[in-house]
């Protein structure tokens, strides 16, 4: 049985690092694979490492098959002008652990290994903020699947092309914290769809149709479009936000949620939360099973 990369589901980390690379299309697989082998050699047993590929690089390294739904991200624009820009890249490496030191040692090793074949396009550390809150002050990931439900939501099932792997969506969001924090807490809660202090989902008439929860908690033909989120806040004195990272058994689950957020469904309702945060990067990826990854690298 094909197994997903185990580090996807390791949840005890509080320090994260995200690297996105663009590779020169002229480089052959014979040149890329040794560099990848070297880059993915762990520098510490204490870190977790996940690798995912954009469609172009995946097809170059594995020309015999591609997961059916895998595609490159295309820009989305809401009726009000919010955008989720397509910045499709070739290679995603996600490092996480309990030690920024160990993460950073691995980052330096990866960059040294790949600098001759790839251009680093995103270089972003993240962290757990208080009790797993986003920087807007609300708990993030409350509705995430638990225990066995995680793999049901995240992993392509046996019998399908890419079984044991995951479709992945990554987006860097830059928050407008000053604007959001000027709202009274009650209005903040209407934007998110949950209470701020005790993290309780709003119900009935108290839940606005344009809240983030309303737009992203989706069922299609009675089936919940669950995804498994592993997002992390990031920040400096001048810029802060969320690196949204999520895994799914169907890429459609991402596209449905994004269309609902950006007002691109029949009801035309836009997620109120995107008034307070801008997506500045967006890519789709495929994170192959451990066996398929080992086969490609060897």
In a domain, 257, yes or no: yes
pLDDT of residue 208: 98
User: 25 or 34: whose pLDDT is higher?
Assistant: 34
Q: Is residue 128 situated within a structural domain?
A: yes
DSSP 8-state assignment for residue 202: -
pLDDT band at 144 (very low <50, low <70, confident <90, very high): very high
Q: Is residue 1 part of a domain?
A: no
**Average pLDDT score over the chain:** 98
| pLDDT attached to residue 152 | 97
160: number of Cβ within 10 Å? 14
Active site residues: 140
Is residue 72 domain-resident? yes
pLDDT of residue 180: 99
State how many domains the chain has: 1
Give the whole-angstrom CA distance, residue 151 versus residue 164.
Answer: 9
Residues of the domain holding 136 = 6-297
Q: Is 157 contained in some domain?
A: yes
* Lowest-pLDDT range of 7-11, 140-144, 196-200: 140-144
Q: Residues 262-295: pLDDT tens digits? A: 999 999 999 999 999 999 999 999 999 999 999 9
Which residues does 138 contact at the CB level (< 8 Å), separation at least 6? 188, 192, 194, 196, 199
Residues 222, 225: Cα–Cα separation, whole Å = 9
Identify any residues that bridge with 16 across adjacent strands, giving them in sequence order: 96, 126
What's the pLDDT score for residue 258? 99
Residue 156 falls inside a structural domain: yes
More confident residue, 221 or 124: 124
Long-range CB contacts for residues 209-215, cutoff 8 Å, separation at least 24:
209/267, 209/269, 210/269, 210/270, 210/271, 210/272, 211/271, 211/272, 211/273, 212/261, 212/271, 212/272, 212/273, 213/143, 215/257, 215/260, 215/261, 215/269, 215/270, 215/271
Closest to 297 in 3D by CA, of 35, 67, 50: 35
Rounded Cα distance, 180 and 102, in Å = 34
**274: which DSSP letter?**
G
pTM to 2 decimal places: 0.97
209 pLDDT band, cuts 50/70/90, is very high
Confidence of residue 13 (pLDDT cuts 50, 70, 90): very high
Q: 123: closest CA among 83, 94, 150?
A: 94
pLDDT at 18: 99
Residue 275, both tokens? 């008034």
Q: What is the pLDDT of residues 155-200, one digit of tens each?
A: 999 999 999 999 999 999 999 999 999 999 999 999 999 999 999 9
Average pLDDT score over residue span 26-45: 96
Max CA pair span of the chain: 59
Residue 200: CB partners within 8 Å, gap ≥ 6? Answer: 194
| 198/139 Cα distance (integer angstroms) | 9
| pLDDT attached to residue 295 | 97
């Amino acid at each position: 049985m094909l197994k997903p990369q185990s580090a996807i589901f390791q949840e005890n980390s509080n320090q994260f690092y995200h690297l996105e690379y663009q590779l020169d299309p002229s480089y052959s697989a014979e040149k890329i694979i040794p560099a990848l082998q070297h880059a993915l050699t762990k520098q510490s047993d204490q870190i977790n490492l996940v690798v995912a590929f954009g469609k172009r690089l995946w097809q170059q390294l594995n020309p015999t098959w591609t997961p059916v739904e895998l595609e490159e991200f295309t820009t989305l624009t809401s009726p009000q002008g919010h955008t989720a820009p397509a910045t499709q890249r070739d290679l995603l490496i996600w490092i996480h652990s309990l030690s920024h030191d160990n993460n950073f040692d691995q980052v330096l090793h990866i960059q040294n290994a790949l600098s001759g074949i790839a251009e680093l396009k995103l270089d972003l550390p993240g962290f757990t903020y208080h009790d797993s809150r986003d920087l807007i002050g609300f708990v993030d990931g409350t509705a995430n699947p638990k225990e066995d439900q995680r793999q049901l939501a995240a992993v392509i099932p046996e019998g399908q092309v890419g079984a044991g792997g995951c479709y992945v969506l990554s987006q860097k969001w830059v928050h407008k914290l000053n604007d959001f924090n000027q709202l009274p807490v009650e209005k903040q809660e209407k934007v998110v769809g949950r209470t701020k202090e005790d993290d309780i989902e709003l119900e009935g008439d108290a839940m606005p149709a344009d809240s983030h929860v309303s737009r992203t908690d989706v069922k299609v033909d009675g089936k919940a479009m669950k995804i498994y989120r592993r997002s992390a806040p990031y920040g400096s004195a001048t810029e802060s936000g969320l690196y949204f990272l999520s895994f799914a058994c169907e890429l459609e689950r991402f596209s449905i949620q994004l269309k609902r957020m950006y007002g691109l469904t029949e009801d035309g309702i836009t997620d109120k939360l995107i008034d307070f945060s801008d997506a500045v990067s967006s890519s789709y990826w495929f994170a192959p099973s451990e066996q398929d990854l080992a086969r490609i690298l060897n």
